[in-house]
Structure formats: structure tokens, C-alpha cells
Structure 1
Amino acid sequence: MRDKIKQYLLAGYPAIWIQDWEEERICKDLQRIAKEGKGTDVKLRYLEWSCTKGFVDPAENNKVHKDTTDPIAALTYVATGESPKQTLYVFKNLHFFLDNPNSKHMIVQLIKDLIPIAKRTERHLIFVSSQVNLPQELSKDITFLQFDLPDADALDSVLYDVLSSVAISKFKLSLERKSPEDRPRLIKDAVNKMGVSEEDRYRLVQAALGLTCSEAENAFALTWVENESFTSPEAVEFVQKIKTQFINSSGLLQYIPPKFSLNDIGGLDELKKWLIMYQKAFTKEAAEFGLATPKGVICTGQPGTGKSTAANATSAAWRIPLLRFDIGQIFGSLLGETEQKLRTVLRTAEALAPCILQIEEIEKSLAGISSGNSTDGGTTSRVGATLLTWMQEKTKPVFVFATANDISKLDSALVRKGRFDEIFFIDLPTIEEREAIFKIHINKRGRNPENFDLKSLAKHSEGYGGAEIESAVESSLWTAFNEGKRDLTTDDIIHALAATKPISITKKESIEATRAWAEGRARNASSVTTQVNTESLEDNYSNLRKIAN
């Protein structure tokens, strides 16, 4: 990114806005750019502005330029002959004042007035903030840039700094009287004494991918305090735990730990075969063989048929992290806020790659993206276009696992080949699949499936989805527990089934519509071609109620 900024400066760009959470890291990079200059003969000064100090000159012992804490006064100063030419004027968090209707108009006009002056005199305006709400009036004058989240090399440098601090303290190194040449060697020797191998460092860095440098530094430091080790499996797990907290705290992504395996899914054999085929898709071995990583998959079907469980099981089978993305959480009221949040989500996912990005009920947020929504100023269309472009052009191994209850609402541009590798239709479980589902959930609760009439349970649960079957097993187990902790029986489960009408009865039209859409457009997740007859579901449920009573 530093090279990219230098290119813009060499090209004479007068104003750049950089979005990043790590203000200090960006400002240090900008100071290095100023020291290196734009060429052998052209050096740049560096002045840094904040609303608490005004302009500060780090080259002159942080000399403060008086009366520049007000943003209007600071911009006016840059425009006057008193301010130095060939200078980087770095404004930190000016976006706060662009939200203020009392100052916005003055700041916008001052920046527009400064653009031609900056071009003539090489007074470069650089704005740094974690949030960007660039007014429309400035969108053509200011170039927007985003720093990538730190890569593995950057995080390894952070880890080495933490290791150095720990080693200095642990071995009581005294460096005050040592020469600048000797200090790095002594620190390196002390770090080596800690016995942290290259493999240990690699695992810790991989666990921290997706964090900012400051977040990673805190995570590594806390890991040492908690474990007093960087070599144990617990240390890596602790870094991952802290990363989960950081990711979840954003409110945009949620890290989902793997709870299921493919063996925990009853039926859906075609989907499971497909997932197993790509099990090593994100390995170095596959890349060296010339294989491209899969882009993603959509699973469509009624709620409770195993779509989300399949996403979780994929994470476990492929051994890569699962990030759940609720698109509805990114929509905001401010201009550009939604698009900015989407970019943050995609950057985080790419920094964590290889990973799975799970988008739940994608049709609820992106229905009709081509036509847009007249009530949201076209925000939905822009979000959809950004997501489509990213899915088509992404180079990082981020696998998109989308689910849809009503896929017919999705724009055809989203579901065509190139965005996703496959679309799987998950129908109501057949009698064979229901038997397998009962067997899984009975076994998971410590009971022997052979002690139950699985064929009877499968017969009487026609129209029930996997989630409803699991709920019936759980409910019947509570009944047995509350009745003196007696043994669970087949009749208990049948009574639990009869207590809840399956959603397929009320969703009959929706099921038939999805089946009609999937014909010729989607691949069946199950090799069993026999479909549950939705016309007889009401009668079957009535018979089940009679049997239970």
C-alpha cells in the first residue's frame, strides 16, 4: 500500500482519503514516505493534525502549530502562504466534523478551494480515519484508498516484537549500555532461548490472520500472560479464541466453531459427495496440481432441512473457519455507510482466507438487485453489484456458502455459473433419510438406535424436516426425564411428533413452487428421487394424532 500511495503522490494527486482502523500504523507509513520523498531531490515535510493538538511536526520534537485545533482554522492555514510547500498534511478523523451540519459546508468548500492550490504547490492533503462518509461534493476530488489487513509477514513481525519483550523480561536483559549494533543480536539470542520454533510461529500467525496489528499484539501478549507459553496447542487455541471475540464484536461477522461433521447429516448424499470431492481444495497440494479453488455453493429448500448444518459440517470437513455474514446488519442510514461495511466484511474474509463465508437466507437481503429498491436510494442494488463483482473476481480462497428458503426471489445474475459452482436443492427428507436422521439424533443422545422402531418413526414423520425430527427426539427425552428418568421409547417420540404440526403442511404451495424452480436449474442434494407427497400431509398428520392419542 505504501508503494501505491507514493505512486499517487508522484502523479500529483492532491487529496487522498485512507480508511483503516490502525491510525498509528498508517501515520508511521506516511512519515516514512515523507522521509523517502518523491524522488532523489524532492523530500517532503510531514505535518499531522488532530482536533486535540492541531498541527504537529514530528521532525521538530512534535512542535505544535498554535490555533489549528479547529478543522476550519487548520484547512485555512494550509491554504495560506504561511504553510510549507511540498508537505504531507495528514488529517486524522476529520470525518467527525463532516457529520456536523454546522461545519460541513465550510469544510467541504475549503477542501475544494485547496485542491488547485495543492496541485500547484505540492501541499498533499491526506485524510486518515476508520470511518468514511465522504460527501458527494468531494467524491470526484478525493481519491479513496483502503489499507489491507496485515498479512502473515506483518503479523510475524508483531509476534517477534512481543517475543522480544517477553525475552528481555524473562532473561533480564540489560540493553542500556549496549551499542545499537549489538542490541538486535542480543535480543535475537534471547528469543531463540525461548524455544519457539518456526512452526510454532507459523501456527500462531495463522491463528491471528484477520486481526489488525494492534489486535494481534494484544492477543499475543495476553496469550503469554495466560499460558506462559507460545509452543503449546493451548496457546494457538487461545489466540483463536481472542480472534473470535474481536470478529464477533464487530457485529458484521460471526465466527462459528464447527459443531457437526458430515456424518451428522442424515441423507443429502449427493451434496456430501460433492463436499468430500473438494475436501482438499484449499491445500497447497491442490494448488500445485493446478486446481482452482471452488467459488461457492447455494443450498435452497424449506427451513429446517439441514442447510445451515451442512455449512457447519463443511467447515469441519475442510478444516477451515466458518464466518456467518448477516447482510441485513450492514445496511445503515448514512450515505456510503452500507457499502463501507460490506467492504470491511469482504476484507476481513479475505484476510482470514482460506475460509467459508456463510450468507444465510440470501434472498431476503438481495432480492431484485437488478431493479433495485426505490425506497433505499439504490443501496441494495449497489450492495448486490459489489458482492457480485467480488464473487466473480475474487482471487483469495473464500468459499461462499449461501442458503435460500425461496431462491426464486434471487436475481438470475446472482445464481448463474461463475458466481457459484453448484446450486443444490434440499427437499423434504424421504422415508430413508428420515430413518437415518432419527438414528443420528437418538445416538447423539446416548441411546442405542437398535432399541427403537426406526422404520415406524420414519413412516409416521412424513413431511417433517430434520430440525423438527431433532426437536421431537429432544422433547421426548425431557418427557422420559421428568417421569422418573425412565427409558426413552418409540411411543415417546411418536407423541412428541404428534404434538407439533410440521411446517410443510402450511408451506405446501411454497414447497411445490421451489420444486418447480429447481427442476432443471438445481442439482438434487439427495440421490433418492422419490418426493414426499405434499397433498397427503394433512391426512397423514391427522392419522398420527389418532395413533398418539
Structure 2
Amino acid sequence: MSNYAESLSHLDSYISARVPVIAMRTIEQQRALRLLRESATQSRRSSMPFWIYTRATGLRDLRTNAAVQDDRSLTGAMEFAAAQFGSRANATVVFVDPDQLDSDNPVTRHFAELARLADSNMGSMVLITDTPIWSGLQRLGMSLKLDLPDSDEMYGILSGFLGDHHGHIPIEWTEEDARSAAEFLSGVTEAECVNLMATVAAKGSIRKEDVRGLAQAKDRIFSDLTGLERVQLRQDDYTIGGLAGLRTWLRRKEQMISKDLRNTALRPPRGVLLVGVPGCGKSLSAKAIAQEWALPLYRLDMASIHGKYLGESEGRFREALAMADRVAPCILWIDEIEKGLAGRDDMSGVPQRIIGQFLYWLQESQSRAFVVATANDIRSLPPELLRKGRFDELFFVDLPDAQDRKEIIGIYYRRYLQGEPDTDQLDRLVDLSEGFAGSDIEAALRDVGEQALISGGVAELKDSYIMDTFAQVRPLSVVHPEQIEEIRAWGRERAVPAGRGAVTPAPGDGGRTRRIVFMDE
């Protein structure tokens, strides 16, 4: 049963039971009014009067839309309702988005009096609003929440739109494409869905690639997202080096993002947790995945979540996750997640409650928000976050081996020096960069690029300058070898390698394995 059909069933039962107050919460007024008209026009209710009040049109007959009185004020409509409830049975009056329903005030108390009057003569009052209703009024009746269209209802909306345009413009979509599009549009209103499809159709055709394009188009609907920062991606800006194990795993997950999972026990991919050595590209992986999957990227800023008032942090975090569900499909990037979830011994209990909210969302959310979380300080991560089933996988990001360093050097050499290193030079740079993270290699070649620009071109640089620049770098594996070794020892035992497998050791590493994930920025 779709959300619309379920809501219609509840509304029918409330009207039949002559519940004095029916509070309908929704942000889609037109959809709610269609629901009401469908219920009111049933043949068994032909003798029951229905009126509707809106600020723009005043009081009108719900079925015929004929004006009832010239007074368009809320007070006039409430006086009319009082007269009807007092003089006849089975009267129903609908009020659309009246003001000040969320607190104890003269308006809500007036509505409460109307509800008691309606109850005495089998009347019903329907309040359509997108805000909470004062509890004193709410307790006099029943509530009904009309949620956004689910995937089945969205599929019906899309099918109707495609049917209206069939024969007028070329349409390449199959039923499977329409089902995928319905999943992608989860979280938007019916009107927003129609507007998005109209924008697609305005191009003169509806192509296969428009299914994935809806994710980007949907992203433009939302602005000022609570706790979420939209990260803009540039075309061809994130080249992946190394990362063989993770890349293979991601290719399988990408297919699941757009699959129709309705008739399976499967759920959309939840995400990946990347832990490992700082500077090896964990954060850039989120950008690369969003670029490759052609999905919008949002960064969950944990710093903006925390507030100073009791319950403020938890509320902001809950809103951010709810918004992530709405904008899905998307990539949700949580950088250095351990900083936002730290403080397990905090006496306020805030970190523990935030962890609880996050774990529940990871476990229960059915949205197509793919989480890419990164962590450097593994010891700060709560153990329950690492349990299988929270994230789809936990990958360890290690220092690059010789083969990956060669690929990384080539990427940044082309970026900053607009050329290719010769074979001998490349081999020497690979040797000199032993123990470097990807960020160390980038920093060295950026310095070389700056000097080349000052000197008039790379041809003017002495080969020894490039070698000296690399030789002067002191990577974190040399500056803090104990810290790096601790991270690597943890990752080798507890996480899946993001790279190919065993590689050459870092300086002083005692022959242990090395693995890498690297994203070109």
C-alpha cells in the first residue's frame, strides 16, 4: 500500500468515525486537498456537506468550489463553522494552514471550542498544516501525517508524466529506468517531481542518461541544508591512483545504488569507513567517488553540529541525517569522524547520544545516501561503530608502495609541470619518496612547479633541483614513526587493505606490508 493510499484509508476512517479534529501534517497542500476531495466525493458521503477555507479564496464548497460568503477572514470562517456545527449534523469544515496552531493562544483555544461544538453534533474539523499543533487541541481528535511520495507513488507520478508525453517527444526510458528514477526522486514533493521531469522534457527528449542526471537536478532544489555543506566538484579533477582493492569494491556498490531493490531483502549500500595514515588521500576519496558515480557530494560538518544548549547538538545532528535522506541519492562525506564522536567520557552524555543516533541511522535508513567516513585517530572510534553491518566495509589506507608512488608522481608531474618525467628521473624520484604519503609527493612537486614558473619553464630547472626538493621533505613516517607504525599495526589486523597487498616497507618499518589509497585533487 502506498503512502497516499494508506493516508486515504486513515482519513476515511476518521471522517466515518466523525472525529471532531483531524490534524493533517504535510508540506504538500495540493496533495492533501486532493486526498480530501477523493474522500469527500465518495457516493456514500453525497449527503454530507464539506466546506474549505484558505486565505486566498476564503470559504468555499469543497466539491463545487462555489463561494459561500464574502468575508474571507479566518474569524469569519470560524464563525460560519460554529453556526454549522451548532445547527446541523455531519458537517465538515477544512481549514488550510491557519496561523498560530503550535502554541496555547486565543486562536488555538477558539479552535478547541469549535472542536467541542462539532463533537456534540457529529461534526468534523480538518486542519491542514506543516507545523506542530498545540497539544491541548491535538488531544481532542486524531492526527494524520501525509509523508512525501514513496517510490511506488513516485513511479505512478512518473508513469503518468511519461504517458502524457508519449508520442510528442522521444522517450528512451524503460520500466526499469522509471523505477530507478522513482528511487532517485525519493524525498521530493509531487510538484517538485513534475517540475524536474518538465525540465528534462524541455530539452526535447528523455534519454537514458537523464535517470542519473535527476540526482544532480534534484540537488538544485535544496538550499541552506542544516549541518550539510554542498561540495562543488570540477570536471575531471579527481584521478585515482592505486586503490585497487577499494576501487573493485566500489564498482560493485555503484551498481547497487541505482538497482530496483523493492522485491529483494537487500537495502541500498550504506557506505565505507576509511582509516589509516594521514595524507594518503582518505578525504579525497569522497570527491573521487562522487565524481565517478555522478552524484552530488555533501559534507557533514561535525563542528557545526555541536551547540551549547541542552539537546541542541542532538537535534542538529538528527536534522542533518534527515536532510541527507531527503537529498539522496548522494555521497555523504564525514571527514575525521572521530573528532565529532569523541568524548565518550563526557559527563554531559552528548557524544554518546550522537553516536546512538548515528548508529541507528546507519542500521535503519533505507535512503541511498552513501557515507564515506574517514578517520586518522583510530583509538578514538567507538567500538560499536566498527561492528560489521554499520558500514558496508572498513578499509585501511596505508603509505604508497613503489608502484603507486610512480603513478602518483606521474599525476602531479603532469599537473604542475605540464609534462612527463623521463624514465631515469622517475625511478630516482620513486626511490627518494620512500615513506612519503600522497600529500608529501604533491607538496614537493607543487614547489617544483612554482620554481619552474618563476624560472621560465621546467626546461630551465636543473634536474638536481627536483631531486633536492624531494630529498628535503621530511614525511610524517620519519617525523613521527611511532605514531605511524601504531596506525599501520592496527590497520593490518582489523581492516581490509585498500590497495593490492604486500609491498615494500617504509624506512625503519621492519619489513611490514604497505597499502595505499590515493586521489588526485
Same fold (TM over 0.5): yes
| Pairing partner for 1:326 from 276, 300, 305 | 300
Q: Is the 8 A contact 1:35 1:43 kept in 2?
A: no
From the superposition, tell whether residues 65 and 291 of structure 1 become closer, same or farther in structure 2 (CA, over 3 Å): same
Please report how far the alpha carbon of residue 282 of structure 1 lies from its aligned counterpart in structure 2 after TM superposition.
4.7
- Match for 1:438: what amino acid? I
Match of 2:408 among 428, 437, 450: 437
The Cα of 1:425 is off from its aligned counterpart by 1.9
Q: Secondary structure at the match of 1:147?
A: coil
Distance 1:159 1:510 in 2: 59
CA apart distance, 1:246: 2.5
- 1:414-469 CA distance string (max 9 Å, x none): 33111112211213334443233212332456422435623432343355432342
Question: Which residue of the partner structure matches residue 128 of structure 1?
Answer: 129
Q: How does 1:234-253 map to 2 (within 5 A)?
A: 242-247=217-222, 250=225, 252=228
Q: Following the alignment from structure 2 to structure 1, what is the Cα–Cα distance between the partners of residues 136 and 509?
A: 60
More deviation, 425-434/325-334: 325-334
The amino acid that maps onto 2:335 is E
Instruction: Tell me the distance in 2 between the aligned counterparts of 1:253 and 1:160.
Output: 37
Give the 3 Å change call, closer, same or farther, for CA 308–33 of structure 1 in structure 2.
farther
Residues 197-231 of structure 1: CA deviation (Å, up to 9, x unaligned):
54599589939735544344444555566x4x225
Q: 1:81-480 to 2 correspondence within 5 Å?
A: 81=86, 85-87=90-92, 89-92=94-97, 94=99, 98=102, 104-106=104-106, 121=122, 123-129=124-130, 132=131, 142=143, 144-148=145-149, 151-158=154-161, 163=165, 192-198=167-173, 202=177, 206=181, 209=185, 211-222=188-199, 227=203, 229-231=204-206, 242-247=217-222, 250=225, 252=228, 254=230, 264-276=239-251, 278=253, 280-282=255-257, 294-315=269-290, 319=293, 321-328=295-302, 339-349=318-328, 352=329, 356-367=331-342, 374=348, 384-395=355-366, 397-443=368-414, 446-451=418-423, 453-480=425-452
Percent sequence identity over aligned pairs: 25
State the alpha-carbon separation in 1 of the partners of residues 232 and 301 from structure 2: 16
Contact 1:257 1:321 in 2 (8 A): no
Deviation at 1:503, TM superposition (A): 5.7
Provide the C-alpha distance between the structure 1 equivalents of 2:468 and 2:444, rounded to a whole number of angstroms.
8
- Amino acid across the alignment from 2:326: R
Cα distance, 1:372 vs structure 2: 8.1
1:2 is aligned to 2:4: yes
Deviates more, 1:112-121 or 1:307-316: 112-121
Task: Give distance in 1, aligned partners of 2:77 and 2:354.
Answer: 34
In the superposition, the TM-score normalised over structure 2's length comes to 0.71
Q: Distance in 1 between matches of 2:68 and 2:97?
A: 17
Deviation at 1:508, TM superposition (A): 6.2
Moved more, 398-407 or 274-283: 274-283
RMSD: 5.0
- Residue 298 of structure 1 deviates from its aligned partner by 0.6
Contact 2:109 2:137 in 1 (8 A): no
- Structure 2 vs 1, CA of residues 286 and 25 (structure 1 numbering), >3 Å: closer, same or farther? closer
**484-493 vs 251-260, greater mean Cα deviation:** 251-260
CA distance in 1, matches of 2:112, 2:384: 39
Gap regions ≥5 residues in structure 1? 164-190, 537-549
Alignment match, 1:19: 26
Residue 126 to residue 339, structure 1, CA distance change in 2 (3 Å): farther
* Aligned match of 2:518: none
In the other structure, the counterpart of 2:457 is 485
Higher relative contact order (CA 8 A, sep 6+): 2
Range that drifts further, 240-249 or 199-208:
199-208
Aligned residues: 486
